[in-house]
Structure 1
Amino acid sequence: MISREEAVRTALSISAIQQDDGGVPWPEGHVDVWNHVECLMAMTVAGLRDPVTRGYDWLARHQRDDGSWAMKLVDGVATEPGGESNHAAYVAAGLWHHHLVTGDQRFTELRWPMVKRALDYVVGLQTERGEIVWERDAQGRASAYALLTGCSSIHQGLRCGVLLADHLGDPQPHWELAADRLAHVLAAHPEAFTDKSRYSMDWYYPVLGGAVRGPAAEELLEREWSTFVVPGLGIRCVSDQPWVTGAETCELALALDALGDRERAARLFADMQHLRHEDGSYWTGWQFINNRHFPHERSGYTAAAAVLAADALFTFSPGAGIFRDISAASVSPADPHLCGCTPARA
């Protein structure tokens, strides 16, 4: 385990890389909204109020009229202008988490219009069957395909958005319907998504995002456990490379915690501590054939995942259950009114 003081030190390593304009970048310098929000959540756990406020100010400044954000921004300038659906959805998870941790009603009300625009952008990309395609390009054209990991994260964002809406007395029933339809597709129609099965995220994210829980989730995780888990080190990023990554390991720990499997969650979290640097930051990954860090970087998003996993396991904040408590409603896979159960492809 790590102590609360060690978790705060990790969060401080994130604030140390925050840019003057409030963006929290990848090691190579660009900012994307999903990782930015993850870093804000970790700093919220640690009580770093000013960096978090500047981070939400950054989000508000860079949100576009349609509710989206550019995929990548460098020094505030869009270098990849398309708008990803999972980026926009995760802002709702961030704000709900902020509210759970701080109870700051005024802040929640201030940023609520940003979340409304973002989630309306997201549900505007939902197909008739229920999956949500991954982006709208710079010309406004919707992508032709959906990603399982992204849609799993979107599911969590929609559920958080519904909770925010109900808390603020501004219900958004179309988001709840969209989340139910999306959960159904995630649980019952894997053929609806582009095949990215070599990535560990496509394995555990339906559990992490709350679309699959209970016995089905336990069976799903057991199915590929030996493919991705490297005992004593963490989990592989991709199935065919000798490379474990800290963020994915922490996310799998969060998924296990959400199922009540705290023993394995804690073991995985302990296994990835070899990536912790003396300043509290975390190396992104470890290539265990060459015995070297790969890539040779310490990333804010890895540190953020570590803080959120530590919070879930050791309850450092009132937001410790943000992944545990978000789950799909009970929906019968045979219900034709939700998605028609039409296969995505033969």
Structure 2
Amino acid sequence: MTADRTEHLVLPGVLTAEQAAETVAGILAGQRPDGAIPWFRGHHLDPWDHTEAAMALDAAGEHRAAALAYAWLARHQNPDGSWYAAYADGDAREPTDRAKESNFCAYVAVGVWHHYLATGDDTFLDGMWPCVFAAVEFVLALQQPGGEIGWKREADGTAVRDGLLTGSSSIHQALRCALAIAEQREEPQPDWELATGVLGHAIRRHPERFLDKSRYSMDWYYPVLAGAVTGGEAKARIEEGWDGFVVPGLGVRCVLPNPWVTGGESAELALTLWVMGESDRALEILQDLGHLRDPATGMYWTGYVFEDRAVWPREQTTWTAGSLLLAVAALGGEEATCAVFSGERLPEGLDAENECCAAGE
């Protein structure tokens, strides 16, 4: 990896071209030869973070490595369209958590659409379509009458019907990407359009349909990041939680009231701010993350306990680095990343808002 290949990831006060190259090299070093991207070598892989790291590789121009990551998902998808929640060091023969989480499974659609936009590879899109289709069908089988998505199936197949706001918001973005793939292939999916519409309505209008995880910063910003909450409502939501979650100069708390800021949540908030058109504030958040960068590896520590002035845990994950690279890519105008997160060219699904209002919901 040379610095000239990462010139588009240069962001003042965040990354030089050389630093970006080091971070990309760190993610590549964590990828197994079979394409799997665990949190770090020796730790587990989960399908969502694996996909996020693959998207970062595409944003950095490492398309072959990203394609290997998606091929891993296609090869190891369960017959019901799912993946297990965790695999030891990314070894598909060693699942360590046999639950099947709905947002983990849906996110493949975001990654596949991102890779297609980055490469224009129709053969790739055609090859991954059965994988995406099966994953979406698995996820939508967990959708509840109120629109929310049950968050997992237990190892014995029992459906957990409770919805998580962060997970359902991520699924909302994934469904829109899946619809974009279907549209590109001229294979309309009206059932998916309906599911996307009622899910978006639940996220915007019915917080009571989700488990209360409001202490977690992801529940604060993810409905905005995923494009379910927009405009004035998005701005009001972010302003309401800002003072509680944002620690000036350090980043974003993972959970209230803990004195712990985390790199992944901070980078995702920066990406959320970019989605809202607030690039200046996004840049400030990313600049604050510099204290989590390890200059020896180019990777980022997961978090920092500021009351103790201690890095914790002592781990540098591929997904933390990946989330930062995606935020930088968006601020830098990288086309595929901008398209996936801005949502401007993604199908909306059925407009359930007016229909639900007319029905008194």
Q: What letter corresponds to residue 136 of structure 2 in structure 1?
A: L
Q: Which moved more, 1:252-261 or 1:6-15?
A: 6-15
Partner of 1:17: 30
Tell me, in whole angstroms, the C-alpha distance in 2 between the residues paired with 1:314 and 1:285. Answer: 25
TM-score w.r.t. length of structure 2: 0.90
Does residue 217 (structure 1) correspond to residue 234 (structure 2)? The answer is yes
Tell me, in whole angstroms, the C-alpha distance in 2 between the residues paired with 1:86 and 1:187. Answer: 18
Conservation of the 8 A alpha-carbon contact between 1:181 and 1:339:
no
Conservation of the 8 A alpha-carbon contact between 1:234 and 1:272:
yes
Counterpart of 2:85 (choices 56, 62, 71) is: 71
User: CA separation of 1:133/1:40 partners in 2, compared to 1, >3 Å: closer, same or farther?
Assistant: same
Following TM superposition, by how much is the alpha carbon of 1:285 offset from its aligned partner in structure 2, in angstroms? 1.0
Tell me, in whole angstroms, the C-alpha distance in 2 between the residues paired with 1:340 and 1:159. Answer: 26
Partner of 2:338: 320
Partner of 2:74: 60
Following TM superposition, by how much is the alpha carbon of 1:337 offset from its aligned partner in structure 2, in angstroms? 7.7
Partner of 2:190: 173
User: CA separation of 1:126/1:213 partners in 2, compared to 1, >3 Å: closer, same or farther?
Assistant: same
Conservation of the 8 A alpha-carbon contact between 1:33 and 1:87:
yes
Does residue 194 (structure 1) correspond to residue 215 (structure 2)? The answer is no
Q: What letter corresponds to residue 220 of structure 1 in structure 2?
A: R
Q: Which moved more, 1:195-204 or 1:276-285?
A: 276-285
Tell me, in whole angstroms, the C-alpha distance in 2 between the residues paired with 1:281 and 1:335. Answer: 47
Q: Which moved more, 1:242-251 or 1:274-283?
A: 274-283
Counterpart of 2:103 (choices 83, 86, 101) is: 86
Following TM superposition, by how much is the alpha carbon of 1:5 offset from its aligned partner in structure 2, in angstroms? 4.8
Tell me, in whole angstroms, the C-alpha distance in 1 between the residues paired with 2:218 and 2:358. Answer: 26
Partner of 2:61: 47
Conservation of the 8 A alpha-carbon contact between 1:128 and 1:339:
no
Tell me, in whole angstroms, the C-alpha distance in 1 between the residues paired with 2:24 and 2:187. Answer: 33
Does residue 97 (structure 1) correspond to residue 114 (structure 2)? The answer is yes
Conservation of the 8 A alpha-carbon contact between 2:193 and 2:349:
no
Following TM superposition, by how much is the alpha carbon of 1:15 offset from its aligned partner in structure 2, in angstroms? 1.0
Q: How many residues align?
A: 341
User: CA separation of 1:235/1:307 partners in 2, compared to 1, >3 Å: closer, same or farther?
Assistant: same
* Identical-pair percentage: 45
| SS of residue paired to 2:356 | coil
Partner of 1:273: 290
Deviation readout 1:48-99 (Å, 9 max, x if unpaired): 2332222112101210111000111112222211211101110000000001
| SS of residue paired to 1:143 | strand
Conservation of the 8 A alpha-carbon contact between 2:194 and 2:350:
no
Partner of 2:163: 146
Counterpart of 2:300 (choices 282, 299, 313) is: 282
Deviation readout 1:113-146 (Å, 9 max, x if unpaired): 1001101111111111100100112222210301
User: CA separation of 1:273/1:317 partners in 2, compared to 1, >3 Å: closer, same or farther?
Assistant: farther
Partner of 2:252: 235
Structure 1: tracts of 5 or more residues without a match:
342-346
Partner of 1:344: none
Tell me, in whole angstroms, the C-alpha distance in 1 between the residues paired with 2:270 and 2:359. Answer: 31
Q: Which has the higher helix share?
A: 2
Does residue 6 (structure 1) correspond to residue 19 (structure 2)? The answer is yes
Partner of 1:291: 309
Tell me, in whole angstroms, the C-alpha distance in 2 between the residues paired with 1:126 and 1:14. Answer: 34
Following TM superposition, by how much is the alpha carbon of 1:217 offset from its aligned partner in structure 2, in angstroms? 0.5
Does residue 157 (structure 1) correspond to residue 170 (structure 2)? The answer is no
Q: Which moved more, 1:127-136 or 1:76-85?
A: 76-85
Conservation of the 8 A alpha-carbon contact between 1:4 and 1:316:
no
Partner of 1:226: 243
Following TM superposition, by how much is the alpha carbon of 1:108 offset from its aligned partner in structure 2, in angstroms? 1.2
Deviation readout 1:237-256 (Å, 9 max, x if unpaired): 11111111111011111111
TM-score w.r.t. length of structure 1: 0.94
Counterpart of 1:106 (choices 112, 123, 127) is: 123
Q: What letter corresponds to residue 63 of structure 1 in structure 2?
A: Q
Counterpart of 2:266 (choices 231, 243, 249) is: 249
| SS of residue paired to 2:106 | helix
Conservation of the 8 A alpha-carbon contact between 1:14 and 1:300:
yes
Deviation readout 1:192-236 (Å, 9 max, x if unpaired): 111111110010000011100000010011111000000111110
